[in-house]
Each structure stands twice: as C-alpha cells, then as structure tokens.
C-alpha cells in the first residue's frame, strides 16, 4: 500500500512536466497592495534584491492606480539600483517623475537618479592616451543635471547639501576630462585643439581645481603657435588668479625652461 502511494505521487508530480511546464508559484496572488509592498521591503531589508524586484514588479504592474503606486515605483527603482540594473532604475525613476511631478517625494526621485548616474566605474583612474575616445562623461553630465534640479527647485530638501557636494565632485571630474583631452592634443602637437579644450574648461567649469592647468595649456599652445599677444594676456590672467603659481614667465626664463615641459613633467 505504501509503495502504491509513492508510485501515485511520483506519477502526479511527473505529470506536471508531461502535460506542460510547471506553474511558477506567485506569492502575491490575491494579496493587497500593502501586503505586496511590505513583502518587497522585507526582501530588500535582507538585501535579497532579486526577490524584492520580483515582488515589487508584480505590485507595480497589478496596482497602477493604487495610492501605493508611487511607492512601488520608488522602491522598485532603488532595488534595481542595488542590483546593478541601472537602466531599469533610471527608466522607473523617469516614469515616476513623469507621472507624479508634484509628489512630495519627487526630490528623492531626482536625487536617486543622480546617484544611479553618479557611479564613476573607474573611468578617470584608468585613463590612457590610447583609450581617449572611450571617455564618455555623458552619464556624469546627466547626474549633475539631476542634482542641479534639487538645488534649484528644492532648497529645503534633505538631499540639498549632499547634492551640492556631489555636484562639486562631478564638475571637477568633467573638467578633468577636458584637461586630459587637452594634454593629449598637446602631446600630439595639435595646439589649436588643445586651446579649444582648455578654453572650454575655463568657460564651463570656472570654479574647479583645473583652472590653473587650463591656463598653462593655453599659454603653452599660444607659445608654440607664435601668438605672443594672446600668450601675454593669458599670462596676466594666470598671475592675477594664481599669484603663487610657479609658472610665471620671469621664473621660467630664469630657469631656461618652457611652460609645457615643466608642467608636463609633473605627469610623467
């Protein structure tokens, strides 16, 4: 009798595969939006991001008009982010911002979007002359824009101060990128291209730490091009803004060194 029961059970279980794929268990079936949201947050609290995403996706799709629909989207975006699904996180945050532009937590949506795009991924630490074309700063610019929205629109947001700090970091990184490209052109003797990059850095990132080097590159490029009047004008700007700089004309002449070689030696 016991053997017969085992055979029947085995047949029934195998029948699921004979007559079709096994039905996937869905723990959210018949559950309320609050239950699903709480379940997703419980998984998230244990860093079980795949389970959190699976449950929250069900809730977000099943209850699009629920009063908890905005929270489903924010929790889901955060779970995507923690699971390194950045594209999905950005898409969900953009959806939230589009649907709920006046929501009390829209500042958090912009902040999280900036954080997702903020990831450096070692882009600047691994720079070489050979991979200069691979330096894509577009995500950093988008990150800056997201934080800038918080600073402009939500001065009372609890994310305001951190957004300012991140914006400063991003501005320095974007300026650093321009300077790296300018230095690359200087090494290739493409002086006009180097001038354009350095001038762009001065105009677009005036408060960054790379202003002195941008001026040095411009002075050096003018010197190599033989444009003495613009070289002298830029030297005056350097002296005015960086009075303690070691790269003033009289010091270089006394040492019989040129602008570019002394600066470039710092990076060899």
Least confident of 36-40, 171-175, 241-245, 260-264: 260-264
Domain chopping of the chain, boundaries: 30-97
- Six-digit token pair at 160? 């305001």
**Which tens digit of pLDDT belongs to each residue from 128-161?**
443 333 357 888 899 999 999 999 999 999 999 9
Whether 254 shows a pLDDT value over 50: the answer reads no
Question: Do residues 29 and 68 make contact, with C-beta atoms less than 8 angstroms apart?
Answer: no
For residue 138, what is the DSSP state? H
* Domain 30-97 CATH assignment equals 1.10.287: no
For residue 66, what is the DSSP state? S
Residue 155: count of CB within 10 angstroms of its CB? 8
pLDDT, position 17: 42
- Residue 156 makes CB contacts below 8 A (sequence gap 6+) with none
Rounded Cα distance between 85 and 179, Å, is 31
Whether 127 shows a pLDDT value over 70: the answer reads no
Query: How confident is the model over 183-211, as a mean pLDDT?
Result: 93
121 CB burial (10 A radius; 0-12, 13-18, 19+): exposed
Percentage above 90 pLDDT, the chain: 65
- Six-digit token pair at 141? 């610019």
């Amino acid at each position: 009798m016991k053997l017969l029961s085992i055979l029947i059970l085995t047949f029934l279980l195998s029948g699921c595969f004979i007559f079709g794929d096994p039905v996937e268990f869905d723990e959210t079936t018949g559950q309320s939006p609050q239950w699903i949201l709480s379940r997703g947050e419980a998984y998230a609290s244990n860093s079980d991001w795949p389970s959190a995403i699976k449950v929250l996706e069900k809730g977000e799709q099943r209850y699009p008009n629920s009063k908890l629909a905005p929270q489903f989207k924010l929790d889901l975006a955060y779970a995507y982010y923690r699971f390194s699904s950045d594209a999905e996180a950005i898409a969900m945050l953009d959806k939230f911002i589009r649907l709920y532009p006046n929501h009390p937590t829209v500042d958090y949506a912009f902040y999280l979007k900036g954080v997702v795009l903020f990831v450096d991924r070692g882009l600047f630490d691994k720079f070489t002359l050979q991979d200069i074309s691979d330096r894509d700063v577009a995500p950093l610019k988008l990150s800056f824009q997201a934080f800038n929205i918080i600073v402009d629109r939500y001065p009372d947001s609890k994310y305001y101060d951190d957004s300012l700090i991140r914006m400063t970091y991003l501005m320095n990184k974007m300026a650093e990128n321009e300077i790296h490209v300018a230095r690359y052109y200087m090494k290739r003797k493409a002086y006009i291209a180097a001038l354009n990059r350095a001038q762009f850095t001065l105009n677009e990132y005036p408060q960054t730490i790379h202003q002195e080097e941008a001026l040095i590159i411009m002075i050096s490029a003018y010197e190599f091009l033989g444009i003495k009047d613009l070289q002298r004008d830029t030297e005056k700007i350097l002296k005015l803004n960086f009075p303690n700089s070691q790269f003033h004309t009289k010091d270089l002449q006394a040492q019989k060194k040129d602008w570019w070689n002394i600066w470039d030696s710092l990076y060899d």
